[in-house]
Structure 1
Amino acid sequence: MNLPRNWFDQGGQAYARFRPEYPSGLAEYLASIVPDTRLAVDVGCGNGQLTGQLAAHFSSVVGLDPSADQVAHATARDNVRYCCAPAEALPLADGSASLITAAQAAHWFDLPVFYAEARRVARPGAVLALVSYGVLQFGGELDTRFQQFYREEIGPYWPAERQLVDSGYSTLEFPFEPIATPAMTIRLEWSLDEFLGYTATWSAVRQAREAGRADLLQGFANDLTHLWGDPERRQPITWPINMRVGRL
């Protein structure tokens, strides 16, 4: 069976469409532990996946990202303002934020500088949450083949920072009063096209293509196509959510 299209040729253009959404309970939980719900700030917001969910719980939300392209693909909401800014220079007033989040982004930050900025903009008792999701899981043979691809085949093409994500940020410096967090999981059901569209957004896939290893990517896609069966069949996929949450 051949792939209906070559998803790996799309590079990162499908980012906004294929990134997994966080469960609604994540934003609800974060809103429950802050001193008030006046302002939430999502740093490294990308196309606003978590930013938009926070909007349901806070009077005002600011999404910040250094990439104009990512911000351009964010969904507009009445109480959300997006702008381009790095994590190390937050365009916010002192003592203004009740919640500061960084979802799947903190491993790119200059953490000491970001932490200093977070302290500056935080209201008394504000919360800082570094959120990430771990390696996805299928069931059965699909999972066996995927884990081989992720760890052994595509693994050498991940940037070094990826190890921080895989460890759930457990090794990051986090000099704040910790808050215990509930277990959460992203659960989706995807067709073959959707899954391959998601893998096409990986930086490691782009690196492998640039290194001339399109054969490695196509071999994995062919194997998945065989194991998947009907490409329209929606397979259950899960990602564990990891958090480092603290009081500023």
Structure 2
Amino acid sequence: MAHKYFDTVSHAAIYSKFRPKTPDALVQRIVAYVSEKIPGPLEVAVDVGCGSGQSTEALAPYFSKVLGVDASETAINEANKKVKISNVTYGTSAAEKLNFQDNSVTLVTAGQACHWFNLPAFYEEVKRILIPGGTLALYGYQLPRPMYRGPTAKDLSPIIDKFYGDTLGSYVQQGSRECYIGMYSNEKYQIPLATRPLQRDDSVYLEQKGTLADLIGYVSSWSAFQYYLRENGEEKAARILKEFENELLATTGSNKKPEETDITVRFKYFLLLGRKAL
């Protein structure tokens, strides 16, 4: 079974608020690959492990019908709260047992999610539901690279790395490391569809403006932090977030509040593409 890291409403809401939206440049790269073998109009896209829907809605301009599925009912409830796009719908489904007919789906995506799946079972389901020539796209992003843009620019990346690797180190699960650090380089992410070699694209990045408060909210959405919270309680979890905040503020030299301290954050993406035989 896929892991359920959104079993509390609060975590699903945090994820929805602070996780980055999938860059259009990445979606365009996926669509271009799909279109090499399948002439338009493109019909059905399924986003597996969709969470609160940031990755799902990015597909809407390119497909007639887009469905986001996730094992967590609370994540799907969060997605349904904000969906306003007529060709996007959401539902609960395990990645390893997808409720779609054989040979019915043009594209399957999994954004920042497949490292939690039972991959052999997921791959079998993908092969079953994809139409001939259909595409599976797996993608994610590395740890964020935040920069303070005050009077003197400061790279805050070392603080992120320390919080992830040291403060939360024993709470970080292997799947998370394979994504954030390994960029899906492990052999098990080599999509076992007919097309070889597997296509890979590491060229896309997203840069967005925000505040230190946004960055703190983002790290609180990490599965490792949520695991720390469950194991140690709210008081200790709040303490390590406060220490993280204090270190950020000290490094920037800002005398403003976190929500008033502006930063720019870069997310570097990686993408793997495979195609079912025609």
TM-superposition CA deviations, 1:118-157 (whole Å, max 9, x none): 0111111111011111111124352222222222222221
1:203 matched residue in structure 2: 223
1:24–1:223 CA distance, 2 compared to 1 (3 A): same
1:221 matched residue in structure 2: 245
1:149–1:101 CA distance, 2 compared to 1 (3 A): same
- Paired residues of 1:59 and 1:79 also in contact (CA < 8 A): yes
CA–CA separation in structure 2 for the residues paired with 1:11 and 1:45: 14
* Secondary structure class of the residue paired with 2:143: coil
Gapped regions of structure 2 (runs ≥ 5): 1-9, 148-153
Alignment of 1:1-248 (within 5 A): 13-34=13-34, 35-36=38-39, 37-74=42-79, 75-139=83-147, 140-165=154-179, 166-173=181-188, 174=190, 175-176=192-193, 177=195, 178-181=198-201, 183-212=203-232, 213-214=236-237, 215-228=239-252, 229=254, 230=256, 231=258, 232-248=260-276
* Secondary structure class of the residue paired with 2:16: helix
More RCO (CA 8 Å, sep 6+)? 1
1:88 positional shift: 0.8
Q: Which residue type is aligned with residue 20 of structure 1?
A: P
1:233 positional shift: 3.0
Q: Which residue type is aligned with residue 25 of structure 2?
A: G
**TM-score (ref. length: structure 2):** 0.80
- Paired residues of 1:134 and 1:168 also in contact (CA < 8 A): yes
Greater displacement, 137-146 / 90-99: 137-146
1:87 positional shift: 0.7
1:16 positional shift: 0.5
Greater displacement, 61-70 / 144-153: 144-153
**TM-score (ref. length: structure 1):** 0.89
User: How large is the Cα RMSD of the aligned pairs?
Assistant: 1.8
CA–CA separation in structure 2 for the residues paired with 1:169 and 1:142: 25
**How many residue pairs end up in the alignment?**
239
